[in-house]
Amino acid sequence: MSTPVRAVLALGSNLGERSTTLSEAVTELTSEPAVRMCRVSDIVQTKPVGGPADQPDFLNLVLEVETTLAPLQLLHHCQAVEQRHHRIREVRWGPRTLDVDIITYGDATSDDETLTLPHPRAAERAFVLQPWAWMDPEARLGGDRVADLAARAADRDGLSVYPTDGDG
């Protein structure tokens, strides 16, 4: 693939030095020559959605990139960054050092079991939608304004802006 495509990635962490992990992950994701950073959102702190009870709060951000990687290549790149941060997949929606999801890849749609595009639950998650709407007020997902989706998201009340001088 040679024509760059805009993709939106969502990053989250609720174990370890969360803010440091997110910062390092953004750098690692965009250090690949085929992935260029366009914009990055503010960090938000959120309560976990789904998964086991009593896990720590998440820090989340959204990253817009331009890439010449094909969708599955981008997924493998994201998973390699997760692995460098010791991501363990034991419990669905469980605690994790780093989670990187591809939310959109241009206008591509896919129902593939390996990579569903757009991300199947993104339109319901304030922890993805709100930072994305702040980063790009004109963003749309499935024909709807991301800001409108964020305002209706069930987990909206558990979200707060994370201070830039936070310690993880």
Q: What is the CATH number of the domain that holds 28?
A: 3.30.70.560
Task: Tell me, yes or no, whether 168 lies in a domain.
Answer: no
Provide the domain limits for residue 59: 5-161
Asked if residue 151 is part of any domain, the answer here is yes
pLDDT score for 41: 97
Average pLDDT, the chain: 91
- What pLDDT, on the 0 to 100 scale, is given for residue 7? 98
Instruction: Give domain status of residue 167, yes or no.
Output: no
pLDDT of residue 47: 86
* pLDDT the model gives residue 93: 56
Is 39 a domain residue? yes
pLDDT in tens, 148-168: 999 999 988 889 998 876 554
Q: What is the per-residue pLDDT for 53?
A: 74
Residue 138 tokens read as 């004109």
pLDDT of amino acid 6: 97
35, part of any domain = yes
Q: Which of 164, 125, 166, 160 is nearest to 45 (CA)?
A: 160
Residue type, 21: T
Domain count of the fold of the chain: 1
Residue listed under structure tokens 């707060």? 160
Active site residue 101: yes
Q: Quick one: pLDDT at residue 140?
A: 97
| pLDDT attached to residue 20 | 95
β-bridge pairing 58-67 and 5-13:
antiparallel
Q: Clarify whether 87 is annotated catalytic.
A: yes
Instruction: Give the active site residue among 87, 136, 145, 156.
Output: 87
Q: Which residues of the chain have pLDDT under 70?
A: 1, 87-94, 165-168
